[in-house]
Copies of this chain bind each other. A is one copy, B any other.
């Protein structure tokens, strides 16, 4: 029997608000959760204005809109590709200068014996880069911290985190990621690309920028949640596509996260944006590398081509991925809690980031210094910065290779360098050190992704495993290619940390460029997820949970058939009459104890007894626009001279509708009446009270609703189901549990 662990009293509670989670106590939450998330409404409010506009539009008009959508998607892809290209080149250049300077310095002091000066130079250079990045993030736009994937996941899920898709965020993100990667942190530049793509999409599709305070007066039709979300999905997909050269993976990422909003034409446009993005990156990088026409770098990271799969080698690495991934997540979780408690002032955050940079440099230096792993300098020398250090002439220090490279190159060499390139002890120490550095780094106030560090850790222990195996098996057998173990290890580690499944498989398959690797990669990701889920959730989900976001999963919890709409809904509901007094509207909207965003509109069939029969649904944002334009019944006669309120007025206010406090309503006006008929959605979706939770959930999720009205069998409003009401149920150890979201 399903067991409702903690049932809390629910009446008088606000709906749809960004309240804080009781996971952390009062004060801490405030610091972590400075942005109160809002929810998106994917259900068009089909009011009279909307229907009139749609009906006025000819078939050709719809076709033009469709063409415009395609153009926007093309632009999104192009700009995202361009940004990826820019980041790539900037990082290469900056890191190149840095490694060159340090290398010269080390070479100079290797003989003289003052290597501590080199260490200090390196640590200072790294810290300086990281400082700039951290300052920008901490002081200018804190939402640009991290990979941005949790935020984009939330956005696609229907939760709007403020400022997440602004131009300013993009600028800081790009600057931050260049600094943190060039600063030698254990981070990747791939995750932030997804966020960047999403910002580009939001900006281009709306035809204006709040940060620049510029409205280009184009694409006004797309200024609503439904359309914006579609474009943001395309942007996220374009970001994935540019990051990994994986257009199909990008599409699947968007679909996996946007889950229910599948639509054939939309998917096709998302795919177009992805394709354009990877093509743009490829094109410009091919020009930058001086080989125009040779399109060989479809993504920021390329795994290089893997040859035909031999399937004997793919079975023993699944388990450690899940365990190590879970370990990573557990440590990072505690670290994040610690950070929320003690490191919440921007200057402290910058200092922590600088400290991590310095420690990273020191650890790297120590490992290079103490390792005696000398490798002969090959003919076809693929290392850009071979460091001789204490090795004999014609040899180089292979540990230095691992640290004197961008992590992307290190991953590739772990995959492809011939057997014997790496000493097992070197690899073991490297894995350990990099693991803890990466755990410490994720969650710093810098823009950075966790994909590449995860891949690198996994590739290192995967290759280590392969080497050890080849000691046991005969070294010439088919078991002996450690590069393939590195690939599987990388997949296992990444899967164990982020727990993405479908899209990650496709991304990795596209990055390896060989479809036969799909099956083992899928198996390894599945096992890593199952094993990891036993211990703790995925890294992104942890961070989403810490932000107390009402995140809806794709299905209702399996044992939730016990619950009905009557039990999950919020009630009583504040309703408005079809023709309502302005004073009451203002009072309801101003009431800070219950911030509602949607209000059922009811018709009073009998003037004496209020029957609350539903006849529509109106949104807070619509009411605010109406109040702002003073659309009162008493002014209707004088309004004849004025122009009629149009959909355009709502669009101009989108998405940042003014707060109710900024609208002045005089005492006289409070006595006026407002006729909501024209503006409310006359056909909101409703469910009867007996509907089971899974059924409510399915309707809510499939249509991307924000409010679902619960009615009795006389069609009277009895409650309202919002995202929070559904998000608080989840399956725990003792069956169904209720989270303490959204309490006032």
B-binding residues in A (CB < 8 A)? 1-2, 44, 46, 51, 54-55, 57-59, 62, 245-248, 251-252, 255-256, 259-260, 262-265, 267-268, 271-272, 275-276, 278-279, 282-283, 293-296, 298, 308-312, 478, 501-502, 505-506, 509-510, 513-516, 518-519, 522, 526, 554-555, 558-559, 561-562, 603, 613-615, 682-683, 685-688, 690-692, 695, 698-699, 702-703, 711, 713-715, 731, 735
Nearest Cβ in chain B — how far from A314, in angstroms?
11
Q: Compute how far the CA of A279 lies from the CA of B267 in the bound complex, rounded to whole angstroms.
A: 27
A703 neighbours in B (Cβ, 8 Å):
698-699, 702
Instruction: Give the complex CA separation of A658 and B674 in angstroms.
Output: 58
A400 vs B690: C-alpha distance when bound (angstroms): 71
Partner of A59, one of B44, B312, B695, B735: B735
- Neighbouring B residues of A714 by C-beta, 8 Å: 714-715
Which residues of B sit under 8 angstroms from A247, Cβ to Cβ? 515, 518
Set B55, B518, B711: member contacting A275, Cβ < 8 A: B518
Measured between beta carbons, the chain B residues less than 8 angstroms from A276 are: 519
From known contacts A265-B555, A683-B692, A692-B46, infer whether A58 and B1 are also in contact, taking CB-CB under 8 Å: yes
Bound: A697/B538 CA distance, A = 37
Interface centre among A263, A510, A687 (most CB of B within 10 A): A263
Bound complex: CA A695 to CA B44 (Å):
9
Q: Which residues of B contact A731 (CB under 8 A)?
A: 59
CB–CB B263/A559 < 8 A = no
Which residues on B sit within 8 Å (CB–CB) of A698? 703
- Rounded to whole angstroms, the CA-CA distance of A282 and B520 in the bound complex is 13
**Would you mind naming 8 contact pairs between A and B with Cβ atoms under 8 Å apart?**
A1-B58, A262-B262, A264-B555, A268-B501, A283-B311, A295-B516, A683-B691, A714-B714
Q: Given known contacts A256-B264, A265-B554, A691-B683, is B522 in contact with A58 (CB within 8 Å)?
A: no
> Given the complex of chains A and B, what is the CA–CA distance between A282 and B262 in angstroms?
32
Point out the residues of chain B lying under 8 angstroms from A282, CB to CB: 516
Task: Tell whether, in the assembled complex, residue B683 and residue A695 are in contact, meaning their CB atoms are under 8 Å apart.
Answer: yes
Interfacial chain B residues near A57, Cβ < 8 Å: 558-559
- Asked if residues A259 and B259 are in contact (CB atoms below 8 Å), the reply is no
Q: Which of chain B's residues have a CB closer than 8 A to the CB of A555?
A: 263-265
Q: How many angstroms from the CA of A271 to the CA of B312 in the assembled complex?
A: 22
Contact B246 A255 (CB under 8 A): no
Whether B293 and A559, one on each chain, are in contact in the complex, defined by CB atoms closer than 8 angstroms, is: no
> Are A262 and B259 in contact (CB-based, < 8 A)?
yes
User: Across the interface, do B515 and A246 meet the contact criterion of CB distance under 8 Å?
Assistant: yes
B268 touches A502 (CB 8 A): yes
Bound complex: CA A289 to CA B45 (Å): 61
Q: How far is the CB of A478 from chain B (nearest CB, A)?
A: 7
CB-based nearest B residue for A263: B554
Query: A369 to chain B: closest CB distance in Å?
Result: 41
Given A509-B248, A703-B699: A293 in contact with B265 (beta carbons within 8 A): no
A2-B59, A683-B687, A714-B715 known; 4 other A-B pairs, CB under 8 Å? A1-B55, A46-B692, A265-B555, A702-B703
Q: Which residues of B contact A615 (CB under 8 A)?
A: 713
> A522: which of B271, B506, B683, B702 is its contact (CB, 8 Å)?
B271
Q: Is the CB of A478 within 8 A of B54?
A: no
Q: Return chain B residues, CB-CB under 8 Å to A506.
A: 248
Q: How many copies does the complex hold?
A: 2
- Chain B residues with CB below 8 A from A272, complex form: 522, 526
Counting from the closest, the 7 A-B pairs by CB-CB distance are A62-B558, A262-B262, A54-B561, A702-B702, A683-B691, A264-B554, A279-B519
Contacts A248-B506, A702-B702 known; A59 to B559 CB distance under 8 Å?
yes
List residues of chain B with CB within 8 A of the CB of A308: 294-296
Distance (whole angstroms) from the CB of A683 to the closest CB of chain B: 4
B562 touches A55 (CB 8 A): yes
Q: Given A268-B501, A502-B268, A513-B513, are A685 and B702 also a contact pair (CB < 8 Å)?
A: no
- Closest B residue to A244 using CB positions: B515
Tell me if B298 and A516 are in contact (CB < 8 A): yes
Q: With A559-B57, A683-B688, A687-B683 given, is the CB distance from A293 to B699 under 8 Å?
A: no
Contact A558 B695 (CB under 8 A): no
Q: Which residue of B lies closest to A704 (CB)?
A: B702
Check A519–B275 contact: CB distance below 8 A.
yes
On whether the beta carbons of A478 and B293 are closer than 8 Å, the reply is: yes
Q: Find chain B residues with CB under 8 A from A695 CB.
A: 44, 46, 683
- B267-A502 in contact (CB<8A): yes
- Pair A559/B58 contact, Cβ less than 8 Å: yes
CB distance from A4 to the nearest CB of B (A): 13
- Asked whether, in the complex, the Cβ of B248 is within 8 Å of the Cβ of A55, the reply is no
Q: Please name all residues of chain B whose beta carbon is closer than 8 Å to the beta carbon of A554 when the two chains form the complex.
A: 263-265
Specify which of A247, A248, A522, A692 lies most central, judged by the most chain B CB atoms within 10 Å of its CB.
A248
Q: Are A62 and B559 touching (Cβ within 8 A)?
A: yes
* B-chain residues with CB within 8 Å of residue A715 when the two chains form the complex: 711, 713-715
Residues of B contacting A58 with CB < 8 Å?
A: 1, 559
Residues of B within 8 A of A255 (CB): 255, 262, 267
**Which residues from B are CB-within-8-Å of A54?**
561
* Complex alpha-carbon distance, A44 and B691, angstroms: 12
Q: A690 touches which one: B256, B509, B682 (CB < 8 A)?
A: B682
Q: What residues of chain B lie closer than 8 Å to A55, measured between beta carbons?
A: 1-2, 561-562
A510 to B514, CA, bound (A): 9
Contact between chains at B271 and A293 (CB < 8 Å): no
In the bound complex, what is the Cα–Cα distance between A294 and B247 (angstroms)?
28
The answer for the CA separation of A506 and B506 in the assembled complex, in Å, is 11
Q: Is the CB of B279 within 8 A of A293?
A: no
Within the complex, what minimum Cβ distance (angstroms) separates A481 from chain B?
Answer: 13
Give the shortest distance, in Å, between A666 (CB) and chain B (any CB): 36
Q: Is the CB of A690 within 8 A of B686?
A: no
Within 8 Å CB of A559, what residues of B?
A: 57-59, 62
Minimum distance in angstroms from A148 CB to a CB of chain B:
21
CA distance A735 to B60 in the complex (A): 10
Give the docked Cα–Cα distance between A268 and B554 (Å): 12
* Contact status A294-B310, CB under 8 Å: yes
Q: Are A510 and B505 in contact (CB under 8 A)?
A: no
Which residue of B267, B513, B561, B685 is within 8 Å of A51 (Cβ)? Answer: B561
Give the complex CA separation of A300 and B119 in angstroms: 58
Q: Considering the chains assembled together, what is the distance between the CA atoms of A522 and B294 in angstroms?
A: 19
- Would you give the shortest CB distance from A262 to chain B, in whole angstroms? 4
- Please, which residues of chain B bring their CB within 8 A of the CB of A278? 515, 518-519
User: Which B residues touch A264, using CB under 8 A?
Assistant: 256, 259, 502, 554-555
Other-chain residue from B310, B501, B561 in contact with A293 (beta carbon distance below 8 A): B310
The docked-state distance in angstroms from the alpha carbon of A545 to that of B501 is: 38
Nearest CB in chain B to that of A282: its residue: B516
A642–B688 alpha-carbon span in the complex (Å): 34
Q: Tell me if B293 and A312 are in contact (CB < 8 A).
A: yes
Chain B residue nearest to A246 (CB atoms) is B515
Closest B residue to A312 by CB, please name it. B293
* A445 CB to nearest chain B CB (Å): 32
